[in-house]
Amino acid sequence: MTICLSLIRTYAVFLPVVMAGLVLCDSAFGQTKPRARDLGIPLDGTPGSFNAITDVAGVEVGYTTLVSGEGRRVVGQGPVRTGVTAILPRGRATLEPVFAAFFAGNGNGDMTGTHWVEESGVLETPIMITNTLSVGVVRDAVVGWMVKRGVPGPFWYPVVAETSDGRLNDMKGQHVKTEHVTQALESAHGGHIDEGNVGGGTGMNCHGFKGGTGTASRKLPSEEGSYVVGVLAQCNYGTRSQLRIAGIPVGREIEGYEPCFAQRTDPPVRGADGQPLPVCEEKTKSATLRKEPEQGSIIVVVATDAPLTPDQLKRVARRVSLGMGRMGTIHGNGSGDIFVAFSTANRGADWGNSEHGRPLLPPPSVARLTSGAMEPIFTATVEATEEAIINAMVAAETMTGADYWRSYAIPHDQLRAVLRRHGRLIEAR
């Protein structure tokens, strides 16, 4: 099995916890892939320095990516195409809580710890994203990591979210282990972060193409407060016929590249309509796309340094749906579209369950934007959500996984050609 750690520091500290037979991927170091803007896709707003959630000062992101095996699915053995993503609101240097809120565009999914976030407006743990059947082990591993770090408080409710990678990954084999969670947490860093087939997004599919992890940010002008809004998305939702980029239904105009099996299996794997799914080399061009129900999910994390209280962060989290709407989503019945937003401002305002031993009075001072000043934050959230999803798809690479199922990356050349045909491509000078 291959483990890829996204790091900017030396990885020697992790070698004792890496299991025998596992190796580190060189591609995770200094990896650069094209992003939406590199392809000439027109996008609104001004991004931050990295165009990433890490443009919000203090936020750190870490990944563990697990890829091994090929061929028929054998539960407990593989093939493995999965991982873990860790988002630390204030970085590993401090796990001091932040104000937060969550919202579900459609609730056919899971995000643990949200009852307390809803009740108190406080987030006291890292945010983790993985596959549907590894939520439990990730949650328990976060608790163990916090205990070892001596984080104050009698208990915590880790926020762990999921999307299903069951097409490409032996998800029922539960290949994510405690050490993988620890690696993601300990590898977290600021600055540039990788996108595409990394972390929890490794085995995900989005709008009929290979999906994964994507990020983007917006920097507001000085007259609007100079605040930063950053988004990270684990994209695993939507149908190809719905896909819109720059307002154009590109999913309907791109030819070929529909998911298929790299080789025939016996018995054949069948789709939701009961029909055998196509073998790649036997596919023929069709004027109509194969209809597949919306059965995926998306997790979106919004970070900002704007001074927002939990009720305002709830309003921000709701705006993620509008960013997704630009991509063509309907929040389908089978989708778990769950979003969490937090603010790094108002440090020390509320320690939640971790306040043991701290003075309760006098009450802290809390800064809060007026309602009228929220609109630029809403706009930034919508724009960054849209771009983060596109970045996830643009960075993703074609992957063949369990039972030879192949998910194709969106073809950059065809995408550019479609946008050019509609006058929506920014041509390189």
Tokens representing residue 191 in the block: 């600055």
Measured CA to CA, the distance from residue 402 to residue 72 in angstroms comes to: 6
Average pLDDT over the chain, rounded to an integer: 91
pLDDT for residue 428: 86
**Would residue 21 count as lying in a domain?**
no
Q: Using pLDDT thresholds of 50, 70 and 90, give the confidence band for residue 1.
A: low
Residue 12 lies in a domain: no
Confidence band of 12 (pLDDT split at 50, 70, 90):
very low
Predicted pLDDT at 285: 56
Q: Is the pLDDT of residue 24 over 80?
A: no
pLDDT of residue 26: 37
Predicted local confidence at residue 23, as pLDDT? 37
Catalytic, 286? Answer no
pLDDT band at 312 (very low <50, low <70, confident <90, very high): very high
For the chain, what is the HEC assignment?
CEEEECCCCCCHHHHHHCCCCCEECHHHCCCCCCCCHHHCCCCCCCCCCCCCHHHCCCCEEEEEEEEECCECCECCCECEEEEEEEEECCCCCCCCCEEEEEEEEEECCCECCHHHHHHHCEECCCEEEEEHHHHHHHHHHHHHHHHHCCCCCCCCCCEEEEECCCCCCCHHHCCCCHHHHHHHHHCCECCCCCCECCHHHCCCEECCEECEEEEEEEECCHHHCCCEEEEEEEEECCCHHHCCECCECHHHHCCCCCCEECCCCCCCCECCCCCECCEHHHCCCCCCCCCCCCCCEEEEEEEECCCCCHHHHHHHHHCHHHHHHHHCCCCCCCCEEEEEEEECCCCCCCCHHHCCCCCCCCCCCCCCCCHHHHHHHHHHHHHHHHHHHHHHHHHCCCEECECCEEECCCCHHHHHHHHHHCCCCCCCC
Residue 351 φ/ψ region, left for φ over 0, alpha for ψ in the -120 to 50 degree band, beta for the rest: alpha
Q: How confident is the model at residue 3 (pLDDT cuts 50, 70, 90)?
A: low
pLDDT digits (tens, 9 = 90+) for 47-100: 999 999 999 999 999 999 999 999 999 999 999 999 999 999 999 999 999 999
Is residue 23 in a domain? no
What is the domain count for the chain? 1
pLDDT of the residue at 25: 47
Q: What is the pLDDT of residue 251?
A: 97
pLDDT at 176 over 90: yes
Give me the domain span that covers residue 415: 33-355+365-421
Candidates 6, 217, 297, 407; catalytic one = 297
Q: Model confidence at 8, in pLDDT bands (50, 70, 90)?
A: very low
Q: How confident is the model at residue 359 (pLDDT cuts 50, 70, 90)?
A: confident
CB 411 within 8 Å of CB 424: no
Residues above pLDDT 90, as percent of the chain: 82
Q: At residue 342, what is the residue type?
A: F
- Residue 332 is assigned to a structural domain of this protein: yes
What confidence score (pLDDT) does residue 268 get?
83
**What's residue 350's pLDDT?**
93
pLDDT at 278: 87
Residue 343 annotated to the active site: no
- Here the tokens at position 429 are 């000078």
pLDDT at 7 over 50: no
- Residue 272 pLDDT > 90: no
pLDDT at 298: 98
6 within 8 A of 28, measured Cβ to Cβ: yes
For the cut 70, the answer to whether the pLDDT of residue 2 exceeds it is no
Query: Would you call 280 exposed, middle or buried from its count of C-beta atoms within 10 A (0-12, 13-18, 19+)?
Result: middle
Measured CA to CA, the distance from residue 130 to residue 402 in angstroms comes to: 18
* Residue 360 covered by a domain: no
Cα–Cα separations (whole angstroms), residue 147 to 18, 92, 113, 142, 157 = 21, 14, 17, 9, 13
CATH number at residue 149: 3.60.70.12
Q: Residue 28 domain-assigned?
A: no
Nearest to 218 by CA among 309, 311, 316, 298: 316
Bridging pattern class, strands 405-407 and 260-261: antiparallel
Residues 373-388 have pLDDT tens digits of 999 999 999 999 999 9
- Which of 158-162, 288-292, 345-349 has the weakest average pLDDT? 288-292
Look-up of token digits 């149908």:
239
Which pairing describes strands 98-107 and 122-123: parallel, antiparallel, or unpaired?
antiparallel
Task: Give ∠ CA 403-405-408 in degrees, rounded to 5.
Answer: 165
Q: So what's the pLDDT on residue 18?
A: 37
Rounded CA gap, 214 and 382, in Å? 14
**235 has pLDDT over 70:** yes
Residue 237 within any structural domain of the chain: yes
Say if residue 21's pLDDT is above 50. Answer: no
Question: How many angstroms separate the CA atoms of 165 and 82, rounded?
Answer: 7
26 lies in some domain: no
Question: Which member of 337, 343, 354, 403 is catalytic?
Answer: 337
- pLDDT at position 218 is 98
Q: Which pLDDT tens digit goes with each residue over 319-352?
A: 999 999 999 999 999 999 999 999 999 999 999 9
Residue 335 a catalytic site member? yes
